[in-house]
């Protein structure tokens, strides 16, 4: 493809937009009564969503991190030929390693600070001035910190995949023109 390759850039943009929309769905899911209303309107869909919602959100957060990492990494690759090829290879590799990477990012995101401390809980309850809403907000903050950490680890993995494929293409000489 030519130097500009707007198709690949647009695909990454659409992928990031789709994953962002899944993140918004995650926020809506915790709106009061969403799961109950889904189960009442369509019991089979509600049961399926209840069983798989967390895994869908984890996969979306990891995939969003991968897409962000690859789009940031694209900017750092100087050669247009290597940029185009390594983006394609990194995308294929990211699809191949997504499932194990979701589990790895999930485990890594559970390490360290998770906003579950009493100090932040008390601060949120005090600001909202309603215990029930404050506790709900605190639970939402804990979930969002977890998702942000998952996206961050996915971003690191996306940068790594792009760097490995760019280095591999550079070392093998795939950037030379075929004359």
pLDDT single digits (tens) 27-69: 666 665 677 777 888 889 888 877 887 888 888 889 888 888 8
Q: Which residue range(s) make up the domain with 45?
A: 6-172
More confident of the two residues 69 and 137: 69
112 conformational bin, left if phi > 0, alpha if psi -120 to 50, beta if neither:
left
Confidence class for position 1, pLDDT limits 50, 70, 90: very low
- Whether residue 178 is predicted with pLDDT greater than 70 in this model: the reply is no
Q: 13-17, 70-74, 102-106, 167-171: which range is least confident on average? A: 13-17
Rounded to two decimals, the pTM is 0.74
Q: What whole-number distance in Å separates Cα of residue 62 and Cα of residue 118?
A: 28
Structurally, the chain folds into a number of domains equal to 1
Backbone angles phi, psi at 54, to 5 degrees: -65, -40
- CA triplet 165, 151, 48: central angle to 5 degrees? 110
Over range 155-168, report the average pLDDT.
88
pLDDT at 157: 92
Asked whether residue 26 is assigned to any structural domain, the reply reads: yes
In a domain, 178, yes or no: no
CA distance 88 to 61: 21
């Amino acid at each position: 493809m030519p130097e500009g390759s707007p198709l690949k850039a647009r695909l990454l943009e659409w992928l990031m937009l789709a994953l962002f929309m899944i993140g918004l769905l995650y926020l809506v899911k915790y709106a009061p009564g969403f799961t109950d209303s889904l189960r009442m309107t369509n019991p089979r869909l509600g049961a399926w969503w209840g069983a798989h919602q967390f895994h869908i959100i984890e996969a979306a957060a990891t995939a969003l991190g991968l897409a962000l990492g690859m789009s940031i990494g694209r900017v750092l690759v100087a050669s247009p030929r290597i940029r185009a090829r390594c983006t394609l290879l990194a995308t294929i590799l990211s699809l191949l390693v997504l499932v194990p990477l979701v589990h790895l990012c999930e485990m890594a995101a559970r390490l360290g600070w998770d906003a579950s401390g009493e100090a932040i809980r008390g601060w949120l309850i005090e600001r909202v001035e309603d215990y029930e809403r404050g506790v709900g907000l605190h639970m939402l903050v804990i979930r969002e910190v977890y998702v942000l950490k998952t996206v961050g680890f996915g971003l690191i993995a996306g940068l790594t995949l792009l760097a490995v494929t760019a280095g591999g293409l550079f070392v093998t000489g795939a950037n030379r023109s075929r004359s």
